Chains A and B, each alone.
Chain A
Amino acid sequence: MGQVAFAGVSKWFGVRVDGRMQGVQALKDISFTVENGQIVALIGPSGCGKTTALRIAMGLESASAGRVLVNGREVRGCGHDRGIVFQHAELLPWLTAEQNVMFGLEMKGMRGDTLRDTARRYLDLVGLADSAGRRPHQLSGGMKQRVGIARALAIDPEVLLMDEPFGALDSQTRETLHGELLDIHAGTGKTILLVTHDLDEAVLLADKIIVLRAGALQQTINVNLDRTGLDLAEMRTQPEFAQVRLRVWHALHGTPTGH
């Protein structure tokens, strides 16, 4: 069970320009909802505030105005009801893949046999059961990100927050992980808020796409792609894929859609 609601969220940053402090508004009165079990993509060019929005939802930063509700509870700091996947995985380099997954679980208070078993189960879920004993520098970029996903999922959060999780990967690895994420989503039914700058990624994965431009919510686009039993290549051939992709493209570039 997981529902995320942004209610009029704004964020100002102080930035020093030529020795003087200036207020910069990163987010302007953002409101949207991620329903239980949905995948929602926050898309926009760099600097549009999408990562800031995700960090506020995680509790790593606070909103200057407005609030984020997770299952009706206001977000105040980090909590085990949310699991985050960072852009560069951010595994602890001195721990093995398994220990990295265990770290999150230990913070939740899990001990003993259940701890190891749970970590194994989630490494297995992301296809890394054989690499449990490897340290991060012995893993490829895609494998590191899989461990990052396993670490976030293992604490069984109500919402999974993903900050451009595939942005640093090569296109083939990215495609593979897209497929795996859809499988994991189908298997666990997790609510996912995904930040991305990749148009195709947003359309392929999300049920709803929130387009941000310069900190403001530009448009909300629902995606009705039929994903049942289809692989990513087949999804791309659907007319819905092309249409939604075009609408998001127009929203990103601020041009009228022609509809």
Chain B
Amino acid sequence: MSSSSETAQITPIAQPMLPADLVKPRMTLPRWTITALSVVVFFALWEILGRDVNPVFGSYPSAIFLAFIDIVRDGTLLPAFLESCKSFFLGYVLAIVIGVPLGLVIGRFRFAEAALGIFVTAGYAMPLVALVPLLVLWFGLGVAVKVAVVFLMSVFPVTINTWIGVASVPKSLLEVGRSFVAPGHVIMRRIIFPATLPYIMAGVRLAVGKAVVAMIIAEFFTALSGLGAIIINSANNFDTATMFVPVVLLMVMATGLTGLIGMIERRVAPWQSELSGRDSA
């Protein structure tokens, strides 16, 4: 065999070693297409099956959409939505602003854990619905009571997750701080906080659902207003399709917000998804 034919034989073997070919991922459906397909199937089934149900007992997507157009046109939806959003975001942001530092302190200091931990654990199980009338007495019927209800409902998952996060920071990483003579506040800011960030984000994510539920509860039990008022009023009129509009809207909003938090998480804690090897939705 001549040397030229040997090189000719070697070339095709060397070809697949190009890095671009090696790093090419296996062909799989992207996650969002699976999710989209699943949502389409869900709405299709709901539409088909929902049409056979008495419109007082149930509704279906196209009827809900028409009701949605109606209440957008007559100008009830947008102000109600904004009204609800105001108390939602105020309470939710307040829960993060207070819950995260509280969780960090409880997780970090033995004294704080022993003194305050029990209230946080108990507070998480607080039957808030029962306390709303009391809160109304304290805060009146305005926006303050709604913010308070949203805050009380969402602060505990944030605090507890942060607390668990601090408790699970490996001792070995804290010893890195100690070994290089880092002061306590530097250990907190540069080791404990980043190590806890994935837990904090999980708590912030869980709190979205809690806050949405709290917002509607608050609107039911106080001065009827916002999306909660639309739900109650249409339910009282047996207008089930219109009642579903805010329900679906809130679920869409919560899902979108959760996705947004996931994106923020991948920005602020990119090592986490790389470590676990998951591309969370």
Question: Within 8 Å of chain B (Cβ to Cβ): is A155?
Answer: yes
Produce 1/0 per residue, A211-228, CB < 8 A to B. Answer: 000000000000000000
Residues of B within 8 A of A93 (CB): 195, 271, 275
Residues of B within 8 A of A21 (CB): none
Question: Within 8 Å of chain B (Cβ to Cβ): is A2?
Answer: no
Question: Within 8 Å of chain A (Cβ to Cβ): is B194?
Answer: yes
Residues of A within 8 A of B179 (CB): 58, 60, 78, 83-84
Query: What is the interface of chain A mostly: helix, strand, loop, or mixed?
Result: loop
A60 touches which one: B173, B175, B190, B275 (CB < 8 A)?
B175
Question: Within 8 Å of chain A (Cβ to Cβ): is B51?
Answer: no
Indicate if the CB atoms of A103 and B274 lie closer than 8 Å. no
A135 touches which one: B173, B180, B194, B271 (CB < 8 A)?
B271
Indicate if the CB atoms of A92 and B191 lie closer than 8 Å. yes
Produce 1/0 per residue, B237-281, CB < 8 A to A. Answer: 000000000000000000000000000000001010011000000
Residues of A within 8 A of B271 (CB): 93-94, 135, 137
CB distance from A156 to the nearest CB of B (A): 13
Question: Within 8 Å of chain B (Cβ to Cβ): is A107?
Answer: yes
Indicate if the CB atoms of A86 and B178 lie closer than 8 Å. no
A-B pair count, CB < 8 Å, reads 49
Residues of B within 8 A of A88 (CB): 172
Residues of A within 8 A of B176 (CB): 86, 90, 92, 103
Residues of A in contact (CB 8 Å), total 20
CB distance from A118 to the nearest CB of B (A): 14
Indicate if the CB atoms of A90 and B175 lie closer than 8 Å. yes
Question: Within 8 Å of chain B (Cβ to Cβ): is A44?
Answer: no
A79 to B180, alpha carbons, bound, how many Å? 7
Question: Within 8 Å of chain A (Cβ to Cβ): is B186?
Answer: yes
A78 to B174, alpha carbons, bound, how many Å? 13
Assess A90 versus B186: contact at CB under 8 Å? Given A80-B181, A107-B180: no
A86 to B182, alpha carbons, bound, how many Å? 17
A94 to B176, alpha carbons, bound, how many Å? 14
Most buried by A among B180, B195, B271: B180
A135 to B272, alpha carbons, bound, how many Å? 11
Residues of A within 8 A of B269 (CB): 94
CB distance from B246 to the nearest CB of A (A): 40
Produce 1/0 per residue, B128-154, CB < 8 A to A. Answer: 000000000000000000000000000
A58 to B178, alpha carbons, bound, how many Å? 10
Interface residues of A in 229-257 (CB under 8 A from B): none
Interface CB pairs A-B, < 8 A, 23 = A78-B179, A78-B181, A79-B181, A80-B180, A80-B181, A84-B179, A86-B175, A90-B173, A90-B175, A90-B176, A92-B176, A92-B190, A92-B194, A93-B275, A94-B194, A103-B176, A103-B190, A104-B180, A107-B180, A107-B181, A107-B186, A108-B180, A135-B271
List 12 additional A-B contacts (Cβ < 8 Å) besides A90-B175, A108-B181, A155-B180: A60-B179, A78-B178, A90-B173, A90-B176, A92-B191, A92-B194, A94-B194, A94-B195, A103-B180, A103-B190, A104-B180, A135-B274
